């Protein structure tokens, strides 16, 4: 039998790669000779670089960059097995996890470090870039990223703007003539799983600003500044981003990537599915196991298990999900290629206990599932 393991990470507990290893350990207890294929997955959020690097035989590259508050931080980007594709997670250099709650202020936080990661990848010879933009701490529309790549964002006096979304209201002119050599040769794809516009009641500032520390007063300033930024971008770069679906993702990084990098916005899980060649790896499979920390009504909106199920359904392969927990609306997945879904928790446990025991719980759940599926003559439809 051939079983494909294609989980996302179990946030705060296990990486996607570690989840694959735990699933295999359980399956081997039931079927020692099974053909087991690991395809660690992601949907553009945390763990995307590691998943793609693992699946393609690439490597992680470490460097020092500027964090969201201006301090130096250690961050990583992934070089895929083809040697020319870089995977860069915005959260590595400009993520909310890098800012203590008491210091969160999107008027000042910057994406400069994300630009430094891109620059490092370009200098290393990468010309295809996958930019995963989940977990942002900023609301600067990628302005800091652009500055790190040599773009000058100038005020009326010809001075460079300081970091943060609070300064964008003073933007008078964009000079992109000094962009780092090689950047214009890159093909950039942004993993973007929201369709929010840049501005307005559904825009970056109103929807995502409060979780980054923005007060209602800050939200208004930030939204006005992003509207002004979009006007200057359209005038100086000839790119309209204000109402572009997905432009509001990651504090406007969707807009910045389109404006400064000519990026294409795509669903994160679709990018990963293509990069790891999931469809090819499903050929001849009898079963797919996928999962994540929680499966619920949001999973069907494009998260990893949903994307895996879509591909598996086309291949006629059943999919079983192993989740840390099952929330309301998980049944909707049964309409989209998921055969069944189970919680890995097999007895009353606190969240901390469940997370600490995640490898053993996943292994046991995987063993129970494959015993049931194959004892009943299940598998490929």
pLDDT in tens, the chain (381 residues): 999 999 998 887 888 999 999 999 999 999 999 999 999 998 887 788 988 898 888 999 999 999 999 999 999 999 999 999 999 999 999 999 999 999 999 999 999 999 999 999 999 999 999 999 988 999 999 999 999 999 999 999 999 999 999 999 999 999 999 999 999 999 999 998 778 999 999 999 999 999 999 999 999 999 999 999 999 999 999 999 999 999 999 999 999 999 999 999 998 899 899 888 999 999 999 999 999 998 988 888 788 999 999 999 999 999 999 999 999 999 999 999 999 999 999 888 888 888 888 999 999 999 999 999 987 655 554
Three-state DSSP state, 32: coil
Class of domain 48-266: alpha beta
User: What's the half-sphere exposure (Cβ side, CA atoms, 13 Å) at 9?
Assistant: 17
Of 274, 254, 266, the C-alpha closest to 41 is: 274
Residue 332, token pair as written in the block: 């909707």
Q: Are strands 264-266 and 187-191 parallel, antiparallel or unpaired?
A: parallel
- The second-level CATH assignment, the architecture, of 2-41+281-375 is 3-Layer(aba) Sandwich (3.40)
> Burial code of 268-285, b = ≥16 C-beta within 10 A, e = fewer?
bbbbbbebbebeebbeeb
Q: Which secondary-structure segment (H or E) carries 319?
A: strand 319-323
What does the domain layout of the chain look like in residue ranges?
A: 2-41+281-375, 48-266
Question: What one-character DSSP code corresponds to residue 147?
Answer: H
Of 92, 234, 206, 218, the C-alpha closest to 164 is: 218
Residue 371, token pair as written in the block: 């015993």
Q: Which secondary-structure segment (H or E) carries 62?
A: strand 59-66
| pLDDT tens per residue across span 356-370 | 889 999 999 999 999
Q: Is 263 left (phi over 0), alpha (psi -120 to 50) or beta?
A: beta
For 334-381, give the secondary structure using H, E and C.
Answer: HHCCCCEEEECCCCCCCHHHHHHCHHHHHHHHHHHHHHHHHHCCCCCC
């Amino acid at each position: 039998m051939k079983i494909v393991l294609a989980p996302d990470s179990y946030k705060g507990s296990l990486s996607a790669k570690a989840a694959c290893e735990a699933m295999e350990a359980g399956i081997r207890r039931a079927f020692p000779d099974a053909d087991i294929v690991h395809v660690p997955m992601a949907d553009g959020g945390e763990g995307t670089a590691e998943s793609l690097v693992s699946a393609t035989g690439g490597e992680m590259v470490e460097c020092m960059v500027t964090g969201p508050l201006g301090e130096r931080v250690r961050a990583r980007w992934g070089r895929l097995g083809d040697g020319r594709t870089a995977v860069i997670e915005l959260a590595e250099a400009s993520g909310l996890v890098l800012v203590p709650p008491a210091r969160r202020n999107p008027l000042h936080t910057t994406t400069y470090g994300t630009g430094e990661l891109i620059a490092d990848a370009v200098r290393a010879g990468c010309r295809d870039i996958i930019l995963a933009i989940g977990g942002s701490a900023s609301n600067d529309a990628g302005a800091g990223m652009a500055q790190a790549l040599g773009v000058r964002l100038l005020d009326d006096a010809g001075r460079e703007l300081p970091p943060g979304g609070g300064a964008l209201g003073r933007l008078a002119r964009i000079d992109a003539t000094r962009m780092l050599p090689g950047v214009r040769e890159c093909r950039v794809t942004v993993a973007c799983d929201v369709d929010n516009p840049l501005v307005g009641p559904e825009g970056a500032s109103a929807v995502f600003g409060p979780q980054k520390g923005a007060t209602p007063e800050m939200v208004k300033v930030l939204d006005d500044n992003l509207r002004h930024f979009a006007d200057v971008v359209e005038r100086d770069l000839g790119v309209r981003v204000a109402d572009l679906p997905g432009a509001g993702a990651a504090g406007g990084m969707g807009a910045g990537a389109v404006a400064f990098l000519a990026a294409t916005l795509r669903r994160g899980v679709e990018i990963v599915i293509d990069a790891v060649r999931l469809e090819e790896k499903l050929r001849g499979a009898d079963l797919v196991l996928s999962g994540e920390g929680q499966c619920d009504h949001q999973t069907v909106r494009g998260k990893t298990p949903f994307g895996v199920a879509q591909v598996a359904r086309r291949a006629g392969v059943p999919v079983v999900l192993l989740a840390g927990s099952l929330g309301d609306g998980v049944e909707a997945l049964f309409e989209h290629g998921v055969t069944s879904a189970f919680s890995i928790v097999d007895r009353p446990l606190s969240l901390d206990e469940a997370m600490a025991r995640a490898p053993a719980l996943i292994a046991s759940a995987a063993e129970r599932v494959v015993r049931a599926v194959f004892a009943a003559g299940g598998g490929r439809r």
